[in-house]
Amino acid sequence: MDIEVARYSTCPEDGCSVTFQGPLQLRNHLALKHAFVYNVEKKSFSSFQDFTVWKDTQEKEAVVSFVQHCGIKRPQDATVTYFYCHRSGSSVSTSVGKRQARTSSKVGVCCTASMIVTVDNVSGVVALEYCDTHYGHTHDLKFARLTQSEKEMIAGMLTGKLSADVILDKIRDSLQGSVERIHLLSKQDIANIERSFGLNRVQRNGDDATSVKLMFKELESLGDANPVVHCKFQGEDQGELLNNIAIDDMFLVIQHPLQLEMMKEFGSRGICVDASHGTNGYNFQLITVLVIDEYGEGFPCAWLISNREDSSVLTEFFKLLYSRTGDITPP
């Protein structure tokens, strides 16, 4: 693996030997001594979730990622997080033995772009100081990273038991217009997401249904971030919340909080429903509800896994979604 080397650095401009640490010191030095022009703006968001959605958009548009390199600081009544350009710095391989050489995304110098995010611990309001001026590199798609929302979408597919090959086919089939980082998705990307989301843990039980139940029990600790909206396993009664769902039916609804917000924001443009078949050994069907985002792309905002896709099942699915979103009407 490659690790970033974080040390005091020397100004990369020809003939300059001034040392600095971090993008702020570099920006000030470049502006003062080398006529470097950069842009810093301040923004405010009502919640960290709103900031995250905005950050994902900025990263996709600029073909760059901002990553957290240090711990969170907690001054009185606030939480401060520092994000830096993922191409900033240099790397050194820690691998032992032979392996195929690859090009590092690191550019060998400190990039000037950064985000300083301050969250008010009382109101939850986010104050952002954002420098969008990069230094020392171009914006190459091959070095871009998946956004957090894209990772969560892939994690949702993995949770739905879709294989890596099926996920790759779905992503590549979604290509319309310009190529984005998501369309370059690889099996290694999927494996990394599986690991980072804790989806590759040792099987909890030899029986799949029991194993899934145990996983859902663990997800309950996430509170409002739990993506499982409702689940009825085969052999269980439908309960008071559902109607016309037979005891032999499987009925699982998944919607991450980010997907809920996307549905509320873009649902008025139109809502699409797609069904996938033959993706697992139980013949369960995957029903996906999508909205059209600001780029004109389909964004999955809820999933239903069931052994049926008739009007009874879909009605209960839509009723659950409506209870979370409220009225969604055309503009």
| pLDDT digit string, tens, across residues 110-162 | 888 999 999 999 999 999 999 999 998 888 887 888 988 899 999 989 888 88
192 lies in which domain range? 146-201
Q: Does residue 316 share a domain with residue 254?
A: yes
Rg of the chain over Cα atoms, rounded to whole angstroms, equals 23
**At which of 123, 143, 163 does a domain end?**
143
Q: Does residue 234 share a domain with residue 330?
A: yes
Asked whether residue 51 is domain-assigned, the answer is yes
Q: Does residue 139 share a domain with residue 6?
A: yes
Q: SS3 for 312? A: helix
The tally of domains found in the chain comes to 3
Q: What is the pLDDT of residues 255-305, one digit of tens each?
A: 999 999 999 999 998 999 999 877 666 788 999 999 998 888 899 999 999
Q: Does residue 234 share a domain with residue 320?
A: yes
Phi, psi torsion values for 240, nearest 5 degrees: -80, -20
Residue 316's contacts (CB-CB under 8 Å, 6 or more residues apart) are 242, 243, 244, 245, 251
Q: Does residue 54 share a domain with residue 167?
A: no
Asked whether residue 192 is domain-assigned, the answer is yes
Residue with more model confidence, 140 or 31 = 31
**At which of 126, 143, 160 does a domain end?**
143
**At which of 100, 127, 143 does a domain end?**
143
Query: What one-letter code names the amino acid at 135?
Result: Y
Asked whether residue 214 is domain-assigned, the answer is no
Residue 21 in this model has a pLDDT that exceeds 60: yes
Mean pLDDT, rounded, of the chain: 85
Q: Can you tell me which residue has the tokens 């032999």?
A: 248
Residue 204's contacts (CB-CB under 8 Å, 6 or more residues apart) are 210, 211, 214, 215
Q: Does residue 265 share a domain with residue 177?
A: no
Q: Is residue 228 very low, low, confident or very high in pLDDT (cuts 50, 70, 90)?
A: very high
Asked whether residue 190 is domain-assigned, the answer is yes
Residue ranges of alpha helices (H) inside the chain are: 23-34, 48-62, 148-159, 164-173, 187-196, 208-219, 257-266, 311-325
Q: Does residue 287 share a domain with residue 251?
A: yes
